[in-house]
Structure 1
Amino acid sequence: MQPTKMHLKVLLPSEVLLDKKNVSHIVAETSDGAYGLLPNRLDCVAVLTPGILTFTDLDDGEIFVAVDEGVLVKTAHDVLVSVRSALIGSDLDTLRVAVEQDFMALDEQAQQVRAIMAKLESGFLHRFANFEKI
């Protein structure tokens, strides 16, 4: 009898976000559309686009993972998903709120980085102008 479950790991740059061993199917969004993975599907590699990865765990039911861009690799019954950032939710409404809050925090950080970069560039230009006068 062939196995009817997969081992799913979601990897972030700093940690293993998710490690589930009783996954019956996975749906992931790629640049070519959504891909459904079943345990006996051929091995594959797919480039993921930002979106929702959905999987069914035989113990916990349907689970949603909001993912940033990354890559999915399926070998035998192991599926590795490596992304920059991801959030897990048991329902889409809760996940949507969490994603909005996460993006707002990232937007604030991006604004701070832009302000710091503007100050650095301005300081560099002033020093360069003074250097030209010498």
Structure 2
Amino acid sequence: MPDTMTLNILLPQRVYATITGVERIVAENGEGAFGLLPHRLDCVAALRPGILAYVTADGEHWLAIDEGTLVKTGLNVRVAARAVQAGADLPSLHAAIANQYLAIDENERAARGAMRKLEAGFVHALGEHHA
């Protein structure tokens, strides 16, 4: 039997799943999709919202994940993500990504932009006060 990997999926508040017997994994980062096999070199990747696919002896499985980090060390792969959603079919998972995770990112970008403006205004006002 060929070597297989163990996939640990971690959420901020709990361990979502530990899957053994993983033959290969496909994930998405800013450059596109990439694959992992058991004897690939160790790596770290920043993941974007997308589909995480993995294959075990009983077939292919898919998860919609929010942005996170993937770390491969030896035969262990850890994925830490803000949110994960399992689904029976790819169209529903793609819809979940578009409706939930990408919308959250847009809201967070807007909030961060507003915070930058507030911080810049505060620094500017503080500079005027001390001048």
**Which residue number corresponds to residue 115 of structure 1?**
114
> Which whole-Å deviations, capped at 9, do the CAs of 1:74-130 have from their partners, x for residues lacking one?
52xx43223444533332212112212222123213312321331222122122113
Report if aligned partners of 1:47, 1:72 keep a CA contact under 8 Å in 2.
Answer: yes
Runs of 5+ consecutive residues of structure 1 not aligned to the other structure: none
Q: Which letter does structure 2 place at the counterpart of 1:110?
A: R
| Number of residue equivalences | 125
- Structure 2 distance, partners of 1:102, 1:47, is 22
Indicate the percent of aligned positions where both proteins have the same amino acid. Answer: 22
Structure 1 residues 57 and 126: CA distance shift in structure 2, 3 A:
same
Q: What is the rounded CA distance, in whole Å, between the counterparts of 1:34 and 1:109 in structure 2?
A: 26
After TM superposition, the structure 1 = structure 2 runs for residues 60-99 of structure 1, keeping only pairs within 5 Å, are 61-67=59-65, 68=67, 70-75=69-74, 78-90=75-87, 91-99=89-97
Distance in 2 of aligned mates of 1:43 and 1:113:
37
Secondary structure at the counterpart of residue 104 of structure 2? helix
**In structure 1, what is the equivalent of residue 20 of structure 2?**
21
Contact 2:9 2:81 in 1 (8 A): no
AA partner of residue 70 (structure 1): T
Structure 2 unpaired stretches of 5+: none
**Aligned pair partner of 1:46 in 43, 46, 51:** 43
State the alpha-carbon separation in 2 of the partners of residues 32 and 123 from structure 1.
Answer: 39
Of the two, which has the highest radius of gyration? 1
Structure 2 partner of 1:56: 55
User: Residues 9 and 80 of structure 1 are in contact (CA less than 8 Å); yes or no, is this contact kept in structure 2?
Assistant: yes
Q: CA RMSD in A?
A: 3.1
TM-score, scaled to structure 1: 0.66
Q: Could you report, residue by residue, the CA deviation over 1:49-88 in whole angstroms, capped at 9, with x for unpaired residues?
A: 53532113445x422234535333152xx43223444533
Change (3 A) 1:116 1:29: closer
Q: TM-score under structure 2 normalisation?
A: 0.67
